[in-house]
Structure 1
């Protein structure tokens, strides 16, 4: 009997670059354990370099400060200094928990992290304090980035080089220092890793903590639920959801007692806000029409968000090979981002580890990242132009780059959808990651990274037959 196509270790990097990242095991290697560190450790170094470059890219603002439009001309804007000042974060975590001064528009766990870092800032001139605050976040962000790389590699150990999509991502370099989104991303990555290791309760706890740091982990939990419906593995999904609920409750208890307003503050701010940067609902005002009122923008965002969830549901439950948890999560997260009332540059960090876990090709990653990089540069020129029109980017041109970014994110959805559609019926997994000498290791379909052999994220879904499918005719 002919062996099934082997798992390949080289999908995260171009073939010639694998030597720089440790490379895959040779065909005569004795143990996979020897190659996993050889692949992952260089990627951890690469991630640290990426984060150092991200800090270096903000060097002008670190030297001169974040006041005025200079931060936009130099592309070194960050939310952190204004959050530190307006939220009175210097008062620390205790003040945030009791509601006695410190405030934050972020979900409560991210707000707690901001307050904790603010409390560590030494006294001094305001510019020095903001420098300390930004650099403290740089340390935490680097730890988060390293954690995401490690967790991504550990979640797909036979394809550990896929973690290069995180370590070398231009999106990580550009957006990591804008806000604290990486904190939520590392919690989601830990939750997916634990699910892959068949620890649904612990996975749910981490995903629940992530929900209190960002809102998008709710979509990852929805992806779990949809695949649970498809497979009938309700017990495992139920444990994950229970863990998430317990984690959210534990985080919220101190705020219920001391600062209940903090729990819904981020939702209230979103509900009442006008369409924000990056959102398609900002297009009318960019092309010279009247801006959408906040209430109408909220209604449109919710309505199209529901359609996005329905599309993700169809993807998860349609007949054919079962998509992976990462694939369903990416489709849901990307579509909801595209329909949201705001799509800030840092929100794209949510997609980075999902791109890696889906096993997308570097060409697809770079198409998306290129659109993100262009938008990143142009959004600050547009914002600066609001105060200095003769130097900034005109609104109509910003609309072009906004749509280009939308097309880049949509491209990821299309590639995941089409790649999964090209996967033939699943075969029994090969017990080793490499083929016998002389056997052809090329994929049957150009854009398929051996998902048909094994789903490393399956966790408790592994081996389960499909119980419910939805056919759209």
Structure 2
């Protein structure tokens, strides 16, 4: 790894200790930096560790085809095979697009729903449903691994310190939840959008972010972060192109699906509005205590969370003495939205992983957060299983403890990134932003001062 800067082997104690496995940190008299492509290749090979663990974790469920309560006791649950069986995805993409009676249902955003059914169309014909389910998971395992590798290369190719892509390749969260759902599709598209903005391609960035928003909702916050920093740097024309392309792409994908299958286009958003608090959300705690919050109150609190996140992001982007990076502003806002949402599913933590890498977060802080994620991961499945066998499962008070520990860990991560950005405020020269793109070298036009 490089010899200077935050997040490298010489400045990060955890990375320094880990580098001893490959001969120790890079020396200060080293002749030259390693090419980023070599670094990306090495880090991609390391990604086999969490990817292999994530697949091996699902072996008990592969044997039972994700049937029965064993998928919770063995912590091998995955939305993907359950969606194939329960959503009738075996009918294929053509039936999904026709929207006829009995068409597949996913309850997912438009692009994710399309991908779920498209992959289902590739499943070989087999008499036994269990065999088809196993094939479906296997196809998604390959696709998700490729998406993970794509994120690694996007981070490595755009960072002044390519070794920070190890935050993606070796993320414990990827090992635990990378194969639980199709969330890596949205993460990869959002990362590609940030990469394109960093390469001064605002039109391509907008298209990619529009596709990302069609797959998951959180990339809206990345678009907002670009907008806030564009206001500060006076690059509104470039942001306008990005925002216009993003909106047009999202409306194009959603509108096209709406014409073919209106229920599929709107089901994710209608479902979100209709449900109350779910697992991982702090708004579930009253329900665990026997006093559930009404759905409208949970909806209002979740919307308020978005407002607070954007407000905090605006303060960081516009009121800091030195301009923060795009990844830092995005991570702060995404973290707040996660912990204030209607639910905070285990796989939602994947949203933070590339932002952690681009923000040059210390490995200590990454691992503190990952430890809380791991404890919550086990707690969720034991709590769900307790509904069938109460004396073997996890009691609600203990689930509440681990769930809130995870919330605190995410807020810790947000605070560390905030303090990291603040650390630069007193420096004579701002630290370059790998993803600044059109804002690189631009003088500040708008700075907010609080009196």
TM-score, L = length of structure 2: 0.93
CA distance in structure 1 between the partners assigned to 2:227 and 2:25 by the alignment: 35
CA distance in structure 2 between the partners assigned to 1:127 and 1:401 by the alignment: 34
Q: 1:319 to 1:14 in 2, by over 3 A?
A: closer
1:135 corresponds to which of 135, 138, 146: 138
Partner of 2:434: 456
**Deviations along 1:321-362, whole A, 9 cap, x unmatched?**
111000000011000111100100000000001011000100
Aligned residues: 443
**Deviations along 1:249-298, whole A, 9 cap, x unmatched?**
33234313211222221011111112111001100122x23211222211
1:467 corresponds to which of 422, 438, 445: 445
| Partner secondary structure for residue 212 of structure 1 | helix
Task: Identify unmatched segments of 5+ residues in structure 2.
Answer: none
Spell out the pairing of 1:301-450 with structure 2 (5 A cutoff). 301-425=302-426
Q: Contact (CA 8 Å) 2:424, 2:431: kept in 1 or not?
A: no
Instruction: Identify which range, 367-376 or 306-315, moves more after superposition.
Output: 306-315
Spell out the pairing of 1:33-432 with structure 2 (5 A cutoff). 34-100=34-100, 101-124=103-126, 125-156=128-159, 158-286=160-288, 288-425=289-426
Q: Contact (CA 8 Å) 1:22, 1:42: kept in 2 or not?
A: no
Q: Contact (CA 8 Å) 1:84, 1:118: kept in 2 or not?
A: yes
CA distance in structure 2 between the partners assigned to 1:25 and 1:375 by the alignment: 36
| Partner secondary structure for residue 120 of structure 1 | coil
CA distance in structure 2 between the partners assigned to 1:22 and 1:332 by the alignment: 38
Q: Contact (CA 8 Å) 1:81, 1:133: kept in 2 or not?
A: yes
| Partner secondary structure for residue 237 of structure 2 | helix
CA distance in structure 1 between the partners assigned to 2:445 and 2:208 by the alignment: 28
TM-score, L = length of structure 1: 0.89
Runs of 4+ in structure 1 off by over 3 angstroms are 5-13, 16-32, 424-428
CA distance in structure 1 between the partners assigned to 2:434 and 2:301 by the alignment: 37
| Partner secondary structure for residue 308 of structure 1 | helix
Q: Contact (CA 8 Å) 1:98, 1:255: kept in 2 or not?
A: no
Q: Contact (CA 8 Å) 1:108, 1:213: kept in 2 or not?
A: yes
Q: Contact (CA 8 Å) 1:308, 1:332: kept in 2 or not?
A: yes
Q: Which has the higher contact order (CA 8 A, sep 6+)?
A: 1
CA distance in structure 2 between the partners assigned to 1:363 and 1:412 by the alignment: 10
Task: Identify unmatched segments of 5+ residues in structure 1.
Answer: 429-451
| Partner secondary structure for residue 195 of structure 1 | helix
Q: 1:164 to 1:6 in 2, by over 3 A?
A: closer
Q: Contact (CA 8 Å) 2:305, 2:336: kept in 1 or not?
A: no
CA distance in structure 2 between the partners assigned to 1:20 and 1:364 by the alignment: 21
Q: Cα distance, 1:154 vs. partner?
A: 1.1
Q: 1:23 to 1:159 in 2, by over 3 A?
A: farther
CA distance in structure 2 between the partners assigned to 1:182 and 1:304 by the alignment: 23
CA distance in structure 2 between the partners assigned to 1:21 and 1:113 by the alignment: 39
When the two chains are superposed, the root-mean-square deviation of aligned CA atoms in Å is 2.0
Q: Cα distance, 1:192 vs. partner?
A: 1.0
Q: Contact (CA 8 Å) 1:24, 1:35: kept in 2 or not?
A: no
Q: Cα distance, 1:53 vs. partner?
A: 1.2
Instruction: Identify which range, 132-141 or 45-54, moves more after superposition.
Output: 45-54
Q: Contact (CA 8 Å) 2:16, 2:25: kept in 1 or not?
A: no
CA distance in structure 1 between the partners assigned to 2:353 and 2:368 by the alignment: 13
CA distance in structure 2 between the partners assigned to 1:214 and 1:135 by the alignment: 22
Q: 1:303 to 1:200 in 2, by over 3 A?
A: same
Q: Contact (CA 8 Å) 1:176, 1:349: kept in 2 or not?
A: yes
Q: Cα distance, 1:95 vs. partner?
A: 1.6
Partner of 1:442: none
Q: Cα distance, 1:107 vs. partner?
A: 0.6
Q: Contact (CA 8 Å) 1:155, 1:456: kept in 2 or not?
A: yes
CA distance in structure 1 between the partners assigned to 2:213 and 2:155 by the alignment: 19
